[in-house]
Amino acid sequence: MRKIGSRLAKSMLSPAFEYRAWLTRFTTLSRFMSTNTPTTARLTPEAFRAELAALDVREDNYATRVVDLVLALGRVDGVSDLHLLPTHAGLEVRWRLDGVLASLASLPAELAGNVIARLKVLAGLLTYRTDVPQEGRLHGYASAAAAAGPIASDVDMRLATCPTVLGEKALIRVFPLMSRHTRLDGLGYPADIAAWLERTVHSSAGVALICGPAGSGKTTTLYAALGEITASATPLRSVVSLEDPVERPIDGVAQTEIDEGGAIDMASGLKYLLRQDPEVIMVGEIRDRDCARLAFQAALTGHLVLSSFHAGSAAEAIVRLGDIGVDGYLLRSGLVGIVCQRLVRRLCECAETVTDGGDLLGLDVSTARQATGCGACRGTGYRGRLPIAELLVADVAMLAERETAAIRRLAGQRGMADHAARARQAVEAGLTSPAEVRRVFGFDDRQSDG
Ligand SMILES: [Zn+2]
């Protein structure tokens, strides 16, 4: 996909346009999680539709007011993305709430161009270019408009537009500026994994990886880890990060944004950072051989490296590290552990105990709760999310294996609770529902590690 992106960029755009970076940002950013915190904004889909219906499409400022309303959706707890999707019927407004995409309303097709153009103005993009993807921040607007109402300065929003055959599509990604969870113990990990993470971030050297697909909360965990390190006053540690992009500023961390195709890419950035006397290095994501080898070599020379890595399971991560060219000796001496996770929605207090065995959906659990829905959860039955994570501290025998299944088998013999086991624990504890586990992990436990 990235190759196609580069080719597209070459044919469509000036060299200066960072399509690659744009696409990377678009596809690899992790989403934030939220737990059962009180909602800061009470805008419901119904209220949104009512306010939208109250606007007069003949008014000159219709597009402006629609955009204000849409951006207000971004302040709702748990919303990570807003989509404006051109369809034959009009411009469809969608949001991703707690990881689930839902349609909210459709705007008149003839005004779609004005709405997208208004957003582009706010993000400082070229309104007359509707034929190329563009990206910009809505942050400046957020601060200026905070007093006026629609967006407070507690979120940063980024706009990415993309031409489609039916017109321009707009995606607004929402990032919380001040995390509600700056510490690891607030993320909802099982106690043993939380304890391992806390021990690891205070260790002096090694590579710790957070794995999972896009949107599995990897970045949130890495930020919490950095927060944990910088919150410990003694000893003071030199912490640097290399990110794409920097999602949130963290005091006490020298955060560098990479610029693929520009002056600082992942591999060259890592080389620069290693000359900055770092003790802890956070690499947003290890994507290729150069970056992976540098990260593991840094660990060998006494640095703690925290990074995310794209893999469906901890066992798969080990195989993939080998595939991209990380030598066995680097893994054996550098890798301290892998946490691999997915996010599931957390049941609201309104959940009810399952009485019909069929509602366990074939999960091997003794008890479970299921979603009902109330005002507090907007009728969804869920509020916030929590990670279902497996932790693999690999030994020499596992690292010598080249097959995911063999590593899984060894890990199981050593007592690793895999995703299926962790999911069952979360269901039995009433934290999430059988239906949610099935939605996220599929219907076959054997394949739950993707
Ligand atoms: Zn509820």
Rounded distance from Cα 383 to ligand 1 centre (Å): 7
Rounded distance from Cα 380 to ligand 1 centre (Å): 7
Q: What is the pTM of this model?
A: 0.79
pLDDT of residue 183: 81
% of residues, the chain, pLDDT over 70: 84
Rounded distance from Cα 51 to ligand 1 centre (Å): 24
Rounded distance from Cα 425 to ligand 1 centre (Å): 21
Q: How many domains does the chain have?
A: 2
- pLDDT over threshold 70, residue 7: no
Say if residue 235 is preceded by a cis peptide, omega within 30 of 0: yes
187, amino acid identity: L
**Based on the number of CB atoms within 10 Å of its own CB, is 199 exposed (0-12), middle (13-18) or buried (19 or more)?**
exposed
Average pLDDT, the chain: 84
- pLDDT over threshold 90, residue 13: no
Mean pLDDT of the 223-247 span: 88
- 73 lies in the same domain as 212: no
pLDDT of residue 180: 52
Helix, strand, coil content of the chain in percent (nearest 5): 40, 25, 40
Rounded distance from Cα 347 to ligand 1 centre (Å): 8
Rounded distance from Cα 384 to ligand 1 centre (Å): 11
pLDDT of residue 173: 92
- 96 lies in the same domain as 129: yes
- 210 lies in the same domain as 168: no
Mean pLDDT of the 126-147 span: 73
Q: How big is the CA angle at 307 (ends 305 and 311), to the nearest 5 degrees?
A: 135
14, amino acid identity: S
pLDDT of residue 110: 92
- 249 lies in the same domain as 113: no
- 189 lies in the same domain as 169: no
> Dihedral angle at the C-alpha atoms of 134, 137, 142, 144, nearest 10 degrees?
-90
- 138 lies in the same domain as 205: no
Of the candidate ranges 126-135, 248-257, 418-427, 432-441, the one whose mean pLDDT is the lowest: 248-257
Q: Out of 151, 176, 201, pick the residue that ends a domain.
A: 176
In a domain, 5, yes or no: no
DSSP lists the bridge partners of residue 353 as 369
- 116 lies in the same domain as 203: no
The domain in which residue 84 lies consists of 38-176
Rounded distance from Cα 193 to ligand 1 centre (Å): 28
Rounded distance from Cα 104 to ligand 1 centre (Å): 19
- Quick check: 153 and 130 in contact, CB under 8 A? no
Rounded distance from Cα 77 to ligand 1 centre (Å): 14
- 374 lies in the same domain as 230: yes
Closest alpha carbon to 432 in 35, 11, 24, 20: 35
Rounded distance from Cα 364 to ligand 1 centre (Å): 25
Mean pLDDT of the 43-62 span: 91
In a domain, 31, yes or no: no
In a domain, 373, yes or no: yes
Rounded distance from Cα 29 to ligand 1 centre (Å): 29
Rounded distance from Cα 283 to ligand 1 centre (Å): 38
In a domain, 2, yes or no: no
The pocket of ion ligand 1, defined by CB under 5 A, consists of 348, 350, 374, 376-377
Rounded distance from Cα 358 to ligand 1 centre (Å): 22
What does each C-alpha distance from 439 to 34, 213, 343, 429 come to in angstroms? 19, 15, 11, 18
What distance in Å separates the CA atoms of residue 403 and residue 192, rounded to the nearest whole number? 27
In a domain, 11, yes or no: no
- 167 lies in the same domain as 190: no
pLDDT of residue 67: 93
Alpha carbon of residue 343 to chain centroid: 10
Rounded distance from Cα 346 to ligand 1 centre (Å): 10
Q: Out of 150, 176, 202, pick the residue that ends a domain.
A: 176
Rounded distance from Cα 98 to ligand 1 centre (Å): 14
pLDDT tens digit string along 70-102? 999 998 888 999 999 999 999 999 999 999 999
- 284 lies in the same domain as 161: no
356, amino acid identity: D
If pLDDT is split at 50, 70 and 90, which confidence band does 281 have? very high
What CATH number is attached to the domain comprising 196? 3.40.50.300
In a domain, 26, yes or no: no
Rounded distance from Cα 118 to ligand 1 centre (Å): 35
Rounded distance from Cα 46 to ligand 1 centre (Å): 16
Rounded distance from Cα 205 to ligand 1 centre (Å): 44
If pLDDT is split at 50, 70 and 90, which confidence band does 421 have? very high
Rounded distance from Cα 213 to ligand 1 centre (Å): 28
Q: Out of 155, 176, 197, pick the residue that ends a domain.
A: 176
The residues near 16 (Cβ < 8 Å, ≥ 6 apart) are: none
- 414 lies in the same domain as 287: yes
If pLDDT is split at 50, 70 and 90, which confidence band does 409 have? very high
In a domain, 304, yes or no: yes
pLDDT tens digit string along 203-232? 999 999 999 998 899 999 999 999 899 887
In a domain, 378, yes or no: yes
pLDDT of residue 443: 61
- 343 lies in the same domain as 439: yes
What CATH number is attached to the domain comprising 91? 3.30.450.90
